[in-house]
Amino acid sequence: MVKEVHAYVEVPILEGVDLTIERKRIKVKGPLGELEKDFSYAKTIDIRKEGNKVIIEAFFLRKRERALINMIASKIKNMMIGVSKGFRYKMYIVYAHFPMNIKIEGSTIIIENFLGSKDKRCAKIVGKDTKVKVSKDEVIIEGIDIEAVGQTAANIYLATRLRGKRKLCPHGRAGGPGVLDGIYFYAKEHIRE
């Protein structure tokens, strides 16, 4: 395996964002809130702040460390965008016959009457700053942490995903479209522009 001698990535700090680094623990403050992530698992990678930039670098690295540098840079960018603009995911509720009832109880989304069944399906809301709003045919997920917002959207989608015999075509054909009821992601945007 050939090692790369030196890798260096600069991430510019956005205006209105305050970023501090303490022993690979990065805190980002902005108008919408505060995020903190710990990158102490990246032992061979150096993360420091110089002026209005974050420098991420490593020496004598392999493919895994190179990927780790790019991942850390991407996470820092998403943290800064999150505290300055925020993230909003929109999901559409699709049903053919039985309308779904969706309620929010604490940090859980409860989906009732899915395909007319009496059992409840639950999806966890991830993150303390993640907010979920439900209207008639739409679920809107907002927050400053893109990982928490995205995981909440994935949890909602997976709660209504059909597997196995339930996915068969309702018309008796072998190669039909199957049951399409569920909650599907359709848009990603920022809370503030």
Number of domains in the chain: 2
- Report whether 109 contacts 103 (CB < 8 A): yes
12 with 63, same domain: the answer is yes
Domain that holds residue 107: 87-189
111 with 20, same domain: the answer is no
Q: What pLDDT was estimated at residue 187?
A: 96
* Mean pLDDT, all residues of the chain: 90
Lowest mean pLDDT among 50-54, 83-87, 168-172: 168-172
- Report whether 184 contacts 92 (CB < 8 A): yes
pTM: 0.88
Among residues 139, 161, 136, the alpha carbon closest in space to that of 152 is found at 139
- Report whether 64 contacts 56 (CB < 8 A): no
- The per-residue pLDDT for range 128-158, each reduced to its tens digit, is 999 999 998 999 999 999 999 999 999 999 9
79 with 158, same domain: the answer is no
42 with 107, same domain: the answer is no
- The per-residue pLDDT for range 49-69, each reduced to its tens digit, is 999 999 999 999 888 999 999
Q: What pLDDT was estimated at residue 170?
A: 58
99 with 163, same domain: the answer is yes
- At which of 47, 62, 84 does a domain end? 84
Q: Is 146 helix (H, G, I), strand (E, B) or coil?
A: helix
61: domain CATH number is: 3.90.930.12
172 with 135, same domain: the answer is yes
103 with 185, same domain: the answer is yes
